[in-house]
Amino acid sequence: MAVYKAPVRDMQFVLNEVFLADNLWQSMPDTEEVSGDVVEAILTEGAKIAENLLLPLNQSGDEVGCQFENGVVTTPAGFKEAYQQLADGGWVGLGGNPEFGGQGMPKMLTVLFEEMLYAANTAFTLYPILSAGFSLALNSHASQEIKQKYLPKMYSGQWAGTMCLTEPHAGSDLGIIRTKAIPNADGAYEITGTKIFITGGEHDLTENILHLVLAKLPDSPAGSKGISLFLVPKFFVNDDDSLGERNQVSCGSIEHKMGIKGSATCVVNFDGAIGWLVGEINQGLACMFTMMNYERLSIGIQGLGLGEIAYQSAASYAKERLQGRAVDGPKNPDKYADNLLVHPDVRRMLLSVRAYNEAGRAFAVYVGMQLDIAKFHPNETKREYAADLVALLTPIVKSFFTDKGLEMCIMSQQVLGGHGYVKEWGLEQFVRDARIAQIYEGTNGIQAMDLVGRKVFRNQGQYVELFLSEMKVLLSEIADDSSLQCFYSGLKSTIEICEKTTQQLIASAKKDPNYLGAVAVDYLNLLGLTSYAYMWTKMAKVALQQVDQDDTGFYQNKLIVGEFFIQRLLPQVYALQISIDSGSSAIMKMGDEAF
């Protein structure tokens, strides 16, 4: 049976001690009312929701899945009631604009709440997360009239939102979509086309569903430059905010998937449905990226949350399972065997999962901090700096978190041996649920291409240099501390590899058109490991200052796990450097006919 206890203590450590969130929030007028009491309440109550409301529905939701009949989608038993309870508590609008009923909580805090939800019940969590991203796009780009009409019901959880991009013939290449938008005399548009893989495209959780739809006007330019964005409600909304007639929107079917079975993945048909323009004509893709980038960070956290529940379940099993004896003599001589933790290889697996999870949690909060600064900080220079870092780090978060999330679920499954392959323990579900995160919201290969092409090569490594310069400041702060030499040496060597590899990447890409595509994933993993080394060094610095005053073992264990990461996991950067150095020749040499 799966085991999960929200890691509130570690979340508090990262938020309050490593990143000093309260000091930052007090420096920004829009967040200065976020007190320590508010943070404590959100983390504590969020943990209760994850553990007591959502976790009990996770396995049953996977077994039953969503049902489709005559255009109607029914979610698993308990989902509707749980969603209503989440909405009644104001959780759907946790990060929303207070002008329209949101709570305005900073991203540094909401990423931690999202991690809890994803860990407890990933399939369920996708519904409110899509609504949050939808609301962000609407708040950023819609007219005041549209925002006033729709956002309050979105933040209250009374209505839900989707993003409709993919079509049967157009996946990642959105420039070739065929959905049409015909302008009407009254300023509205008739939307016609079919979208596939739409998360939450139809369900029974809310009374209305609002779709953000990418479509093209008849006279729009070809390709991605001709895409516009439209708001298309399932039910029209009357002037008094009551629901009117149903729009010409219908669900054609739902997908039968490997995982996230409690999440309805729908084919949605628009048959002359009425919609309203969001943002400017032919600027739809730019507007939609507001939502997509939000979801990319969130889907990264999906990998993190699943890695955490997988770790806790595997660690609990390892403590109880008696198998074999320690090589240096029995640890429990009164029993027929020792527990799994006497075996070094089991410890290697569990420490690997824990090290990646805890670094990932810190990195999620770090990226959330940059988003908060970019949005709220009164100093323009700091806003611009943070926005540059967000641009660089978003594809890393999405890809590295989800790659490691799946890897950590598989490694945790391995701890259980044969029991990990059996449904009752939960690990096989976590593996299946984690797999999709590498695919949707832009496949991880495309994320890597975005990183090396737009975020590194295009600006000649300026964003990378900003990030590495920040790490060098930390190095200077700990250079003379002998207790942190493991972290100092590891991070210093990794920074040097990053600098050298980035320079080579830029130079080689100018000569070889295939070079960036050939090394993109390796380079993203290099920056991911470097980011985690940075996080571990920051955490170790804080933990060392508190270790002598702590009788719980929290800070000592933090240092131990951090040292494991530096010594056993970070050396992968050397292999990645060699792989990147090899270029594209081995990849491009074989002819198409040989595949």
Q: Tens digit of pLDDT for each residue in 419-466?
A: 999 999 999 999 999 999 999 989 999 999 999 999 999 999 999 999
Question: Tokens representing 194?
Answer: 């079919």
In this structure, which amino acid lies at residue 472? Answer: K
Contacts 24+ apart (CB under 8 A), 504-512: 504/580, 504/581, 505/452, 505/456, 505/457, 505/461, 505/580, 506/456, 506/457, 506/460, 506/461, 508/583, 509/452, 509/457, 512/583, 512/584
Q: Can you name the residues that pair with 229 across neighbouring β-strands?
A: 214, 278
- Residue 264 has phi, psi (to 5 degrees) of -75, 115
The 10s digit of each residue's pLDDT in 472-514 is: 999 999 999 999 999 999 999 999 999 999 999 999 999 999 9
Torsion angle defined by CA atoms of residues 446, 447, 450 and 453, in that order, rounded to the nearest 10 degrees? -80
Cα distances (Å, whole numbers) of residue 114 to 118, 139, 154, 574: 6, 20, 17, 33
CA 510 to chain centre: 32
Torsion angle defined by CA atoms of residues 259, 90, 383 and 465, in that order, rounded to the nearest 10 degrees? -20
Q: Can you name the residues that pair with 135 across neighbouring β-strands?
A: none
Torsion angle defined by CA atoms of residues 134, 140, 143 and 147, in that order, rounded to the nearest 10 degrees? 50
Question: Tokens representing 272?
Answer: 């002359």
Query: Residue 262: pLDDT above 80?
Result: yes
Query: Residue 289 has what pLDDT?
Result: 82
Span 104-129, average pLDDT: 97
Question: Tokens representing 367?
Answer: 């990226």
Residue entry with tokens 């519904």: 127
Given a contact cutoff of 8 angstroms between Cβ atoms, the answer to whether 311 and 7 are in contact is no
Query: Residue 175: pLDDT above 90?
Result: no
Span 197-206, average pLDDT: 98
Given a contact cutoff of 8 angstroms between Cβ atoms, the answer to whether 526 and 501 are in contact is yes
* DSSP codes joined into one string, 5-41: ---HHHHHIIIIIIS-HHHHHHTSTTTTT--HHHHHH
Residues in contact with 449: Cβ distance below 8 Å, sequence separation at least 6, in sequence order: 516, 517, 520
The 10s digit of each residue's pLDDT in 77-114 is: 999 999 999 999 999 999 999 999 999 999 999 999 99
Q: What is the pTM of this model?
A: 0.97
Span 258-286, average pLDDT: 97
Contacts 24+ apart (CB under 8 A), 345-350: 346/318, 346/415, 348/568, 349/314, 349/411, 349/412, 349/414, 349/415, 350/311, 350/314, 350/315, 350/318, 350/412, 350/415
Query: Residue 293 has what pLDDT?
Result: 80
Cα distances (Å, whole numbers) of residue 435 to 64, 275, 293: 19, 34, 19
- Helix, strand, coil % in the chain, rounded to nearest 5: 60, 10, 25
* DSSP codes joined into one string, 52-116: IIIGGGHHHHHHH--EEETTEEEPPTTHHHHHHHHHHTT-TTTTS-GGGT-----HHHHHHHHHH
Residue 361 CA to residue 308 CA, distance in Å, equals 10
Contacts 24+ apart (CB under 8 A), 586-594: 587/514, 587/518, 588/514, 588/518
Maximum separation of any 2 CA atoms in the chain, in Å: 85
DSSP H or E stretch at residue 535: helix 515-546
* Average model confidence (pLDDT) across the chain: 96
Instruction: Give me the catalytic one of 81, 441, 465, 499.
Output: 441
Query: Residue 292 has what pLDDT?
Result: 80
Residue 89 CA to residue 83 CA, distance in Å, equals 10
The 10s digit of each residue's pLDDT in 317-360 is: 999 999 999 999 999 999 999 999 999 999 999 999 999 999 99
Cα distances (Å, whole numbers) of residue 406 to 40, 292, 428: 30, 21, 11
Span 135-146, average pLDDT: 95
Cα distances (Å, whole numbers) of residue 281 to 30, 176, 221, 224, 293: 31, 17, 11, 12, 21
Measuring CA to CA, which residue among 533, 456, 465 is closest to residue 494?
Answer: 533
Cβ burial of 583 (10 Å; 0-12, 13-18, 19+) is: middle
Query: Residue 174 has what pLDDT?
Result: 85
Residue 370 CA to residue 19 CA, distance in Å, equals 11
Residue 514 CA to residue 587 CA, distance in Å, equals 9
Is 190 a known active-site residue? no
| Beta strand 235-237 pairing with 189-199 | unpaired
Q: Can you name the residues that pair with 322 across neighbouring β-strands?
A: 339
Residue 506 CA to residue 326 CA, distance in Å, equals 51
Residue 511 CA to residue 229 CA, distance in Å, equals 38
The 10s digit of each residue's pLDDT in 23-52 is: 999 999 999 999 999 999 999 999 999 999
Instruction: Name the pLDDT band for 290 (thresholds 50, 70, 90).
Output: confident
Residue 224 CA to residue 228 CA, distance in Å, equals 9
